[in-house]
Amino acid sequence: MPKGTINPPGFAPPLAPYSLAAVADGIVYVSGILPLLPDGSVGHVGDAAGQTRLVLETIKTVIEAAGGTMADVTFNHVFITDLANYAAVNEVYAEYFPGEKPARYCLQCGLVKADCLVEIASVAHVGT
């Protein structure tokens, strides 16, 4: 199966030279998704739960564009700027992964845009 990219319409353009996702052999690699609105501004400033929902909705749209669902996600890379937001992020995260949970890790770090509190990158296996 050839490699391809996924860039659904209606999302902020990437901040650097990358695609929202790449797919190869039924595996979807979703880039680190920030809580950006279509105009490129940060959504839900100061609200970790709102930002997490925005990020996961973007990931959901990208995976659906590849023919999958959130149940196909096998791994998430979660980045948060403050561990004080860990519980809020996890509360929303659990809504998107109600059954078997994907493997993941979570790191506290700085993000590309100062108002962003969370970023998530995902791997999904679709059509398997």
> How far apart are alpha carbons 84 and 36 in whole angstroms?
21
Residue 29's domain comprises 4-125
Measured CA angle at 75 (ends 70, 80), to 5 deg: 95
- 33-50 pLDDT, tens digit per residue, is 999 999 999 999 999 999
Neighbours of 31 (CB within 10 A): 21
Q: Is 109 a catalytic residue?
A: no
Tally of domains in the chain: 1
Pick from 92, 128, 1, 7: nearest CA to 120: 92
Tens-place pLDDT, residues 40-95: 999 999 999 999 999 999 999 999 999 999 999 999 999 999 999 999 999 999 99
Bridge pairing between strands 103-108 and 73-80: parallel
CA–CA dist 86, 17 (Å, integer): 30
Which candidate, 10, 29, 5, 18, places its Cα nearest to that of 112? 18
Q: Which two tokens stand for residue 13?
A: 């353009």
- From the candidates 22, 71, 106, 126, which is the catalytic residue? 106
> What is the residue type of 89?
V
Query: pTM higher than 0.75 for the full model?
Result: yes
Q: Provide the CATH number for the domain around residue 106.
A: 3.30.1330.40
Give the pLDDT confidence of 97-122 residue by residue, as tens digits.
Answer: 999 999 999 999 999 999 999 999 99
